[in-house]
Amino acid sequence: MFVLLYKTIKKDNEGEKEGASPSSYDGGKPYEILSPIWNRMEDLQVTLAMLFKRKGKNVLTEKEFVFSASIDFRWFSPKDAKRLLQMGMAEGLLREDGEYVRLAFDPASVDVPVGFKPEQGVLSADTPEPLFPRILALVVENSVMGRREAVASINRTRERLDVEIEVAGLAVARGYGADVSGLLDEVREEILHR
């Protein structure tokens, strides 16, 4: 369920040398267990399995999911519970089934430790910066505007074109010659999942 971090220490004429992986063991001192480190994917899987097991359901609406993770179990804030849902979808651990969300794996196959409560770190590992701040930074980098002026320009474009803020940001960035092709799919996905 978790990965152990091992340490080897080898003494030679030059002093102590340390290695971080089991493959570096070369007959020196035996491995010493430093600390357990949860594999983020497994921690996310355990969190999702526990949520569905405690609810006693195979499917939940998005609102039920967020309410359960935040209010019922008091694991996360509502905003973080939405993020948990998005991460589960992105990792392929959850899938949409009409208006419902269901696990993409068998929750019975996951061993949940007694007294399990997810740590906030399950949401912070390897998560990208939110989309709009990245678009805003792109506008600022490719123009002579500061952040405040860039936001005002994006808002004017949003009102003029009657589009979502991210689309307006991409339009402004593109107007200043920025390459926005890498963000198009991400913007589309974010807008479609609102």
Do 8 and 46 lie in one domain? The reply is no
- What is the reported pLDDT for 12? 35
Model confidence over 124-161: pLDDT tens digits?
655 556 788 889 999 999 999 998 899 999 999 999 99
Q: What are phi and psi of 148, to 5 degrees?
A: -60, -45
| Domain total of the chain | 3
Do 137 and 181 have their domain in common? yes
Q: Which of 75, 106, 124 is the last residue of a domain?
A: 124
Please report which confidence band the pLDDT of residue 58 belongs to, taking 50, 70 and 90 as the band edges: confident
Q: Are residues 33 and 69 in the same domain?
A: no
Exposed/middle/buried for residue 164 (C-beta within 10 Å: 0-12, 13-18, 19+): middle
Cα 65 to chain centroid distance, Å, stands at 17
Q: Is pLDDT of 6 > 60?
A: no
In this structure, the answer to whether residues 136 and 107 fall within a common structural domain is no
- Output the pLDDT for position 112: 79
| Mean pLDDT of all residues in 101-113 | 86
| pTM for this prediction | 0.47
| CA-closest candidate to residue 103, choices 113, 117, 89 | 89
Last residue of a domain, one of 103, 124, 145: 124
Q: CB–CB of 171/156 below 8 Å?
A: no
One domain, residues 11 and 23: yes
- Show which of 97, 124, 151 is a domain's final residue: 124
Question: Domain of 47: which CATH number?
Answer: 1.10.10
Query: Both 149 and 183 in a single domain?
Result: yes
pLDDT at 87 over 80: yes
Same domain, 69 and 111: yes
Same domain (yes/no): 173, 106: no
The conformation of residue 92, written as its DSSP 8-state character, comes to T
The answer to whether residues 27 and 66 belong to one domain is no
Do 23 and 64 lie in one domain? The reply is no
Q: Which domain holds residue 111?
A: 41-124
